[in-house]
Chains A and B, each alone.
Chain A
Amino acid sequence: MSEQQENHKKGILEVSAIENGTVIDHIPPTSLFKVIKLLNLDRTTHQVTFGTNLKSKRIGTKAIIKIADKYCADEEISYISLVAPTARLSIIRDFEVAEKRQVEVPTHVEGFVKCANPMCVTNHEPHVKTRFDVFTRGGELVLRCKYCEKITTQEQIEIIR
């Protein structure tokens, strides 16, 4: 095991280790529950452990989520980036980090996110799936609604799953 892997393992061991599954690390503490909701972890049958306000060299304090026996779909991973752009994913097999996944920002988002405009049709009409284009504006990630054409900022993102 390399030194880097060793340190990584130590870091994630602050919350009890899992044998197989996914570790999402370096989540900003304020985004923890957004990620939980995004991945439906409040309703899952998988064993989930999480910790928050842990020390992080990269982002000051961080949260971490460990999900036993679950491997995230690419789509789920890209959605994590909307609410927790600093997050890092590790796939665990036999207590070892088998793979690290890059969290990549999607160009489009469907469902999941509520439009911040209270006058938007997606907030008035039942069963309209929200749809957004994602782009950066002044260095910040923003979502433009396909319906009302208004902007939802990263700060305003509310998960509606």
Chain B
Amino acid sequence: MKEKQSLVSIHDFTKEDILRIMELAADFEANPDQRLLYGKVVASLFFEPSTRTRLSFESAINRLGARVIGFSDMNNTSVTKGETLHDTIRVISNYCDMIVMRHPVEGAARYASEVSRVPVVNAGDGANQHPSQTLLDLYSILKTQGRLDNINIMMVGDLKYGRTVHSLLEALSHFKAEFTFVSPPELQMPTEYKMQLYERGISYYETADIMERMAMADIIYMTRVQRERFSDIMEYERVKNAYILRNDMLVDTKPNMRILHPLPRVNEIATDVDSNPKAYWFQQTENGVYTRMAIMAYLFGVK
């Protein structure tokens, strides 16, 4: 891990770091009231709004006994007056012991971690990285499957632009997963990621048919197919219903199978799936709080 102990990208964590976060998340879940960061101040800097991520982090900070300062969007901050990210971070890092930040510009968190006096946790930098999401996805997989090794995971939807699926793919590559990529042709997994799997000797299967390999899956990871991603709107109209999960499609799935979704969900999972015990996305958000507690406690070196 890096010397200043920031978490900017999932690449900053080794397999051992990831496994330690999993242990700590389980520990916090068993006993959430651990004020290990009592007396600390954490700045929660949301340069673009993301209510769920922000509240999840702030809940984790509060449960750890630290206090929160910050802002939930850029309005009414010096940023709107044209202050550079450099200056904003240099100043705020004098006010706190850790920075949690979300920013629309890719690489903003890495740069902030270089100029900050205190560790930076990336809560999303544009289309690039969102490592706490990846770690909470892993924790959800571990909790529901009892293992991270050799998971058969089916990723569905927008695999081209979806940063959550890219980071999860890279993290699961430590654990010899078997991947099925289900997407319309326009939104296939980029070659770069498939080449990474190939170089690591990890198998993957690509299809446009959501049903083809569903019965083999331990995890179905759903993402949304967004209209604005299509250069050809006719193509969108043709495929939009092919990637919607309905309850009747789940009949032949494995008993241990669980459905994850990074949320927000729009219509890609029909509401009739909600009552299916295989639906897991709401528990996934609870896991997010324990995972974020684990990340911060780990970076502070108190666990």
Contact = CB atoms under 8 A, between A and B. Distances in A.
B150 to A, nearest CB: 27
B85 interface: yes
B129 A119 contact: no
Contacts of B104: 119
A139 to B, nearest CB: 12
Interface in B11-54: 11
A55 interface: no
Contacts of A127: 84, 86
Interface stretch (A7-15, A42-50, A142-150): A142-150
B111 interface: yes
Nearest to A149: B128
Contact of B9 (A120, A121, A128, A149): A149
Give the one of A122, A149, A150 with max B CB within 10 A. Answer: A149
B126 A146 contact: no
A137 B192 CA distance: 9
Interface in A96-132: 117, 119-122, 124-128
Nearest to B199: A137
Interface in B73-130: 84-86, 104-108, 110-111, 125-129
A121 B85 contact: yes
Contacts of B129: 149
A121 B107 contact: yes
B86 A148 contact: no
Contacts of B128: 148-150
A120 B84 contact: no
B110 A124 contact: no
Given A125-B105, A128-B86, 11 more contacts: A119-B126, A119-B127, A121-B85, A126-B84, A127-B84, A137-B192, A138-B195, A147-B107, A147-B110, A148-B125, A148-B126
Question: 5 tightest CB-CB pairs across the interface, nearest first?
Answer: A147-B107, A148-B106, A121-B107, A148-B107, A147-B110
